Structure 1
Amino acid sequence: MFKKNVVPLLFTAAAVLTLTACAGVQPVAYTGISSASQLTQNRGDDSRKVPYKYTAPVVWSRYTQVVLDPVVVYQGSDNQFGDMKPADRAALADYMNKTFSEKLAARFTVAKQPGPNTLRIKLTLTGAEKTTMLVGQVMHFDLAGNLYNGVQSIRGGQGAFSGSVSYAVEVYDGANGQLLKAYVSKQYPNAMNLPAAFGSLSAAETGLDKGADALVAQLR
């Protein structure tokens, strides 16, 4: 009897809640990062995932080396971690450091000190959302939830009750310290990515994987 009552309840909840489930956290131009005053609102097609950015004219091919500063967990009052525990924030920062280091090493020679033809990159983890346990997984099997996620997948939107990660990237010339590029980004898995729905931090980690790939692609 319990199962018979729960199934229609979940279906009804999905139909109602998916209308608002994916608004999620929207990144801001975090006041505590060095490049905050130079960031401007992005009005391009990628504004959903990169709402603020700054770019100077750069020939990226002249840079052959990279120095990656240790990832910083943002402590400003405008952080977007919600009630996420410090241990989870630290775990995501470690994962971010590992993932971006590996991806950048495929494009650049990793250097220990800034210098000529070298980029210095600062990464700041500014926020994250966990996947809502049980509900986030049910949405992939519930008819209404699966339909919603399918539409979001096509639109490039966030899945129902799915987690995400927000962060800032600042890229400097290693020789003179000039800011070359900066942006704030929010990343999350494809809305139909079922494996990323399992594990409270899996979606945020998948978002970091995508974010690292996106950064490397911009520096080519």
Structure 2
Amino acid sequence: MLNKNVVPLLFTAVTVLTLSACAGMQPLPYAGISSSSQLQHNRDDDAGKVPYKYTAPAAWSRYTRVLVDPVVVYQGSDNQFGEMKAEDRTELADYMGKKFSEKLAARFQAAQQPGPSTLRIKLTLTGAEKTTALVGQFMHFDLAGNLYNGVQSVRGGQGAFSGSVSYAVEIYDSGNGQLLKAYVSKQYPNAMNLVAAFGSLSAAKTGIDKGADALVAQLH
């Protein structure tokens, strides 16, 4: 007969193992964004975070200024917000606009209007998942949950019951309107990030932070 203390652990282990087969929502080539028809399946190593992308030849070094459009909250029927409230979507969009602008300011001068040597960046928040209340935090203290999150951390995967954010980035030459780069991405905290597990939107905001860093790194 199983020890009564082992039963909850086994139940949790089964639940976590089930999660491994269901990694949550996966971003789409959202039909309502301008670059949707140009997006292609990403075959590179970063496909897990950026499943679709489009890239045209571009000399990023010639661009010294950036114009960042206000973040759009995607309203298409293929959005991936689930039951997330409108005010939470707005909060994430505001945070995204602030963080991406801050990170881009380390590489570019801010522009107020289109012009030569100026990029225009359109950001569209297309989906988000909240961290499941209590369960997401519990998984960091439970043995089976920690084992699962540890494996996910090594794989670069999403933590158990952790939140995430999905979005589209479209980068144009503001002078001639040419699309230079576009992609959709899903970002989330490292699976062992305990701090990001507290607060229903904390994981999504951490994902936004990571997404902003990833964008700037591509423009050098």
TM category (shorter chain) comes to: over 0.9
- Give me the whole-angstrom Cα distance separating, in 1, the residues matched to 2:142 and 2:187: 24
- Give me the whole-angstrom Cα distance separating, in 2, the residues matched to 1:207 and 1:84: 17
Count of equivalent residues: 216
Query: How far did residue 11 of structure 1 move?
Result: 2.3
Residue pairs, 1:175-214, within 5 angstroms: 175-214=175-214
Select between 21-30 and 184-193 the one with higher mean Cα deviation.
21-30
Q: Which residue in 1 is equivalent to 2:25? A: 25
Residue pairs, 1:34-49, within 5 angstroms: 34-49=34-49
- Give me the whole-angstrom Cα distance separating, in 1, the residues matched to 2:18 and 2:29: 24
- Give me the whole-angstrom Cα distance separating, in 1, the residues matched to 2:122 and 2:210: 17
Structure 1 residue runs without a partner (length 5+): none
1:219 correspondence with 2:219:
yes
Query: How far did residue 43 of structure 1 move?
Result: 1.1
- Give me the whole-angstrom Cα distance separating, in 2, the residues matched to 1:64 and 1:100: 16
- Give me the whole-angstrom Cα distance separating, in 2, the residues matched to 1:104 and 1:57: 20
1:118 to 1:10, Cα distance in 2 relative to 1, 3 A? farther
Residue deviations 1:140-181 (CA, integer Å, cap 9, x gap): 000000011001000000000000000000000010000000
Q: Which residue in 2 is equivalent to 1:63? A: 63
- Give me the whole-angstrom Cα distance separating, in 1, the residues matched to 2:141 and 2:74: 35
Q: Which residue in 2 is equivalent to 1:75? A: 75
Query: How far did residue 125 of structure 1 move?
Result: 0.1
Query: How far did residue 12 of structure 1 move?
Result: 2.9
Query: How far did residue 13 of structure 1 move?
Result: 3.2
Query: What letter corresponds to residue 140 of structure 1 in structure 2?
Result: H
Query: How far did residue 19 of structure 1 move?
Result: 1.8
Q: Which residue in 1 is equivalent to 2:158? A: 158
Structure 2 residue runs without a partner (length 5+): none
Q: Which residue in 1 is equivalent to 2:119? A: 119
1:15 correspondence with 2:13:
yes
Q: Which residue in 2 is equivalent to 1:108? A: 108
Structure 2 length as normaliser, TM-score?
0.95
- Give me the whole-angstrom Cα distance separating, in 2, the residues matched to 1:166 and 1:20: 23
Query: How far did residue 17 of structure 1 move?
Result: 1.4
